[in-house]
Structure formats: C-alpha cells, structure tokens
Amino acid sequence: MNRRIQRKTALVMIALTLAFSQLVSGVRAEDTKNLAAKVKKASLSNKFFDFIKPFRKIRGKRQHVAKWWPGADAPAVEFSANGEARWIHENRVISQKIKGNWLGENFEATVLFGYDNTLGEYTCLWSDTLSNRTVFFTGKRDEEGKTITFTAQTGDALSRQPVQIRCVMHLPDRKGEMKTEFYRTDTGGTEYKFMEVVSKRRVSRAA
C-alpha cells in the first residue's frame, strides 16, 4: 500500500470517527452500555413507520414521465426515464437508480428518500451524471397529509448562480402512482414551475 492510499485511508477513518462522535453527545462513559441499541430504538420512536407507510408501494421497476419548462413562458419539453426502487436499511430508506435521456443526452441518477426522525422531516438526496451535482432536500407533510413540500438550495448548471428549489410531492395512490412538481427561484426572486414528473410502476410485457 503506497503512501497516497494510506493517507486517504487515514482521512476516511478520521472522518468516520468524527461523524460517529457527533451522533450522540454528552454521554458519560458509564452510560455507554447498550448505547447503540438505545439510539436505534429512539430512531424508530415518534411513530416513525407511519411517516413512510404511504410509500410502501414504491418498489420495483418504475417509469417516470416528465415535463420540463426551460423558462417561465417557454413551452414544455417532454422526456422519460426508467428506474428501479428498492427498500434498504431495514426497510427504512428508498433507494432508486434512474436512467433516462434529456435533450439528447443520456443520464443516470441516484435517489435516496426517507424520514429523518431526529429532525422530524422527510429527506431526499438526488445525484446525477448530467449536472454532476448532489442536491439535498428536506420537507414536511401538509396538514391534510396528501402532499410533502421539500426545499433545497443548489446552483444553476450553466451560470453557477444560486437557485432555490421547492418541490411538492403528492403521496402515492393505491397503485403506487405519484406526481411531483418542481419550482425554482432564481436570483431575480421570481418563482416558476420548471418540471413535473409522473411516476408509476413499469409493467414488463412479454414479447
């Protein structure tokens, strides 16, 4: 193992150590017995599974049909993508791989979706090969329990200027179909709808 690999390995170990050290603070040495079990139990409190129950049908092969608006007054451009969603981490997090084509360019994306019981918010992490960025969304369900509104801060792919994104996710119906609407606010301060995605189960048809 050369010095560069050793250095990277050491940095990773330091980062992991610092991360875990910040998970639980103010704990005395004598209180660490069964601490991991207590943390895990606490993570499932506050009716955790009630928050992710509506998404139980989001599993398996998915089809995503999208409308994208280049600007507030521009006509919509339609495109589609296919994905496969599965539950990970003891069925607490949805992991989805997506492949599609946008304006003639192929892209791949990874989505992680779940509920953070420490913050009391839904979280969603999006990363793709087209814009080469990772966007972190946090959101809460509305009072009627029919939609979740997410917000995120990112940058414009070309201008690198800051962009505020608001995302309204409609909870899945009994068939697992759902719609998500995306709005952006540029530096000018005007919000407009720039994308709408309808996601449903993808049925494989025999040839």
Tens digits of per-residue pLDDT, 149-165? 999 999 988 888 999 99
pLDDT at 207: 44
pLDDT at 114: 96
pLDDT at 46: 78
Residue-wise burial string across 101-125, b where 16 or more C-beta atoms lie within 10 A, e elsewhere: ebeeeebebebbbbbebeeebbbbb
Q: What is the DSSP letter of 98?
A: E
Nearest-5° Cα angle at 45, 170 to 117: 50
The residue with greater pLDDT, 92 or 47, is 92
Mean pLDDT of 38-64: 89
Please answer whether residues 146 and 152 qualify as being in contact, where contact means their C-beta atoms are separated by less than 8 angstroms: no
pLDDT at 111 over 60: yes
- Angstrom distance (rounded) from CA 36 to CA 102: 44
pLDDT at 41 over 70: yes
pLDDT, one tens digit per residue, over 165-199 is 999 999 999 999 999 999 999 877 889 999 999 99
pLDDT at 183: 97
pLDDT at 136 over 50: yes
- Angstrom distance (rounded) from CA 66 to CA 70: 13
Q: Give the domain ranges of the chain.
A: 49-201
Q: What is the DSSP letter of 39?
A: H
Please answer whether residues 175 and 201 qualify as being in contact, where contact means their C-beta atoms are separated by less than 8 angstroms: yes
Please answer whether residues 178 and 169 qualify as being in contact, where contact means their C-beta atoms are separated by less than 8 angstroms: yes
Contacts of 93 (CB under 8 A, 6+ apart): 87, 112, 113, 114
Tokens at 104, concatenated: 């003639």
- Angstrom distance (rounded) from CA 114 to CA 147: 15
Class of domain 49-201 (CATH, top level): mainly beta
